[in-house]
Structure 1
Amino acid sequence: MGEVVEMHAAAEPAARRAVHRVTLSNPPANVLSVAAIDGLLEVLDAAKNDPDCRVVVLAAAGNVFSLGADYEEAGRRRADEDGGEAFFEASERLLAGLAQAIVRHPKPVIAEVAGAASGAGCQLVAACDLAIAAETATFRVPDVNLGLPGAGPMVALSRGLGRKHAMEMLLTGETIDARTAREFGLVNRVVPPEYLTTVVDKYASSIAAKPAEAIRLAKEAFHAQAEMGLAAAYDYAAALSAESMKSEEAREGIRAALSRRGSREAGE
C-alpha cells in the first residue's frame, strides 16, 4: 500500500466494523499521482477480498478532496524520448482503471467530500455509488480551460448526471458549489462540515447492516442493466428477482415482513 493512501475499519459496533475507510493523503492537493492511484487500487482490492468489509468510504485528508491528475508529474515526463506520450496514455488508463474498479467493486463505495474535487477528483466522486458532501465542498472539471476535452471525467459524469448538466461542467469548466452538485445529481446529500463524517458513518453503517448478498447483487445488477436495452434489462431483472427469491436471506426477510404485516393488521 502506498504511503499516500490509508485504510482502516471503523470501530464498534459490528455494523461499523464492516465499514472500511480509505483515505487519500497526498498533500496539499491530494493529486492522483501514479503512486496515489496504485495505492487506491491496492486498498480497494484488499477491501474486495475482505469478508468482513461490507462498505467502503473514500475520503481524503485535509480540506481538499482531490485536485485531480498530477500535472507536475506529467510535466516531468515531457523530457522522455517520446515527449511523455507513453506516460500520459498509461496514467490516463490507470485513472480509468481506478474509476472502473470503484464501479465494479462488489461493495458499495461512498465518497466523503469535505473540500474541492476537481478534474479526475470529480471523476472519482461521480464513479462512487453514493456521495455525501460538506456545504463547503466544490466541484469542477477545468480541463477545457487547459486545452483538454475532459475525456476521463466525461465518462463518469455522462453516466451519473443529466446530459445537459454533464455538458455544462465539461464545456464551461466552472466551479459549482455543493448544493448545485446535489441538484445536478453528483452528490446525494449536503451537510454542515462538522457533521460530514457522522452522516457518512450513519449511511455506511445502515448499508453494512443490510443482507450482504442483496447489497452485492443490487450494485452489480444496477450497473449491468444500465448497459442494456429496455427489454433486455427487464428480462435480466426478472430472472435475477426469481433467482434471488430462493435465497435463505430472502426467505427470512419475507417471512419477517409478513409477520410484521400480520401484527399490524391484527392491531387495527
Structure 2
Amino acid sequence: MAMNALALAPGPILRRDDRDGVTTLTLDDPASRNALSEAMLAALSATFAALAADRSVRAVVLTAVGPCFSSGHNLKEMTARRVDPDRGRAYFTDILGRCSAMMQQIVALPQPVIAAVQGLATAAGCQLVATCDLAVASTAARFCTPGVNIGLFCSTPMVALSRNVAPKHAMEMLLLGDMIPAEEALRMGLVNRVVPAGEELEAAQALAARIAAKSTLTVKIGKRAFYDQMGLRLSDAYDHASAVMVENMLARDAEEGIGATLAKRQPRWEDR
C-alpha cells in the first residue's frame, strides 16, 4: 500500500493518498473554505496531469475537510486585481480559463472521479461536484450557485450544472441562487447517493473500489465515449458509439470477459 502527499507552500492544501488502485484527493484549505484559489487550481491541475499518466490508479475520489467542500473562486484574490490598469480583465480571463481547463481535465481523465461531498459546495465548488463523474453527498451537504445574488451570474458553473440536471432545475438554481439540500440534489440528479453525515467518504471509496476491480481499459473507453457522444446528434451518436464498441470488442479484455462469462468463471483482466 503506497501513500503519497502533494504539498504546495505554505501548506498541504491538497493531499493525495493512494490505496489499492484508488487515489483519494483531499482539499485541505478550510481557512479559505477550500476555495479554488490560484494555488488550489495549480495543485489540482498538476495532480490530474500526473494521474492521467499513472496506470496504477484505477479510480479517484475527491473530498474535502471542514464544513465547506468548496466555496468556488477566491473572490479576495479576484477583487485585489481590480486595481490593475485593465481593471483585472486579463487576470479574470486567465483564472477562469485555468479553472475551466482543470474541470476539463477531470472529464478527460481516463479514471472515473467520484466526489465525496461532506458540506457546502457553492458556485465553482458546485461546478466541481457536477464535473465529477459520480457524486456521493452527506445529509449535511448543500449546493448553491449564488452568483446572481452578488451581481455575478454563475456562467461557468452553469456549463457543468446544465449537463447534469434538467434545464429548468439548472435555471432555477442559477436564477434564484437558493441553497439546495442533499436530498433535493439527489432528486435533481446532481448527486448519485445521499448517506448519513460522516459516511460520504467511505461510500465514495466503496464505489471507487468496485470500479477499480473492473478492466481499466474498458472503463477508460466507456468514460471517453460517454462524454464524446453527448454533444452529437442521435444518428451521429449511434455511429460513434458503434465504432467505439467495435474497437472495444477487439480488445483483449473484452475477449477475456466474454469468454469468462460463457465459461462461468471470473475474468482475469489484463487492461488491454
Task: Give the TM-score taking structure 2 as reference length.
Answer: 0.91
Instruction: Give distance in 2, aligned partners of 1:249 and 1:121.
Output: 37
Q: Does 1:6 align with 2:10?
A: no
SS of aligned partner of 1:206: helix
Counterpart position of 2:48: 44
SS of aligned partner of 1:58: strand
Give the partner amino acid of 1:4: I
Q: Which of 69, 74, 77 pairs up with 1:73?
A: 77
Question: Can you list the C-alpha shifts for 1:196-215, whole angstroms capped at 9, x where unaligned?
Answer: 12211110000011001000
Where do 5+ consecutive residues of structure 1 fail to align? 11-16, 262-268
Instruction: Give distance in 1, aligned partners of 2:74 and 2:202.
Output: 30
Question: Can you list the C-alpha shifts for 1:141-176, whole angstroms capped at 9, x where unaligned?
Answer: 000001112111110011111111111110000000
Instruction: Give distance in 2, aligned partners of 1:81 and 1:228.
Output: 42
Counterpart position of 1:114: 118
Q: Does 1:223 align with 2:245?
A: no
Percentage identity across paired residues of the two chains: 43
Q: Does 1:161 align with 2:170?
A: no
Instruction: Give distance in 2, aligned partners of 1:221 and 1:214.
Output: 11
Runs of 4+ in 1 over 3 A off after TM superposition: none
Instruction: Give distance in 1, aligned partners of 2:198 and 2:34.
Output: 21
Q: How many residues align?
A: 255
Give the partner amino acid of 2:185: A
Instruction: Give distance in 2, aligned partners of 1:247 and 1:125.
Output: 32
Counterpart position of 1:22: 25
Q: CA RMSD in A?
A: 1.2
TM-superposed deviation, 1:194: 2.6
Q: How does 1:243-254 map to 2 (within 5 A)?
A: 243-254=247-258
TM-superposed deviation, 1:63: 2.1
Counterpart position of 1:264: none
TM-superposed deviation, 1:259: 2.2
Instruction: Give distance in 1, aligned partners of 2:205 and 2:61.
Output: 9
Instruction: Give distance in 1, aligned partners of 2:150 and 2:105.
Output: 27
Q: How does 1:1-268 map to 2 (within 5 A)?
A: 1=6, 2=8, 3-10=12-19, 17-28=20-31, 29-260=33-264
Quick check: 2:144–2:180 contact (8 Å CA) kept in 1? Answer: yes
Instruction: Give distance in 2, aligned partners of 1:153 and 1:62.
Output: 22
Where do 5+ consecutive residues of structure 2 fail to align? 1-5, 266-272
Quick check: 2:118–2:198 contact (8 Å CA) kept in 1? Answer: no
Instruction: Give distance in 1, aligned partners of 2:126 and 2:198.
Output: 22
Give the partner amino acid of 2:85: E
Question: Can you list the C-alpha shifts for 1:33-92, whole angstroms capped at 9, x where unaligned?
Answer: 011111011111111111101111111122210011100111111121221121111111
Instruction: Give distance in 2, aligned partners of 1:198 and 1:92.
Output: 32
Instruction: Give distance in 1, aligned partners of 2:53 and 2:230.
Output: 25
SS of aligned partner of 1:9: strand
TM-superposed deviation, 1:260: 2.6
Structure with more of its chain in helix, by fraction: 1
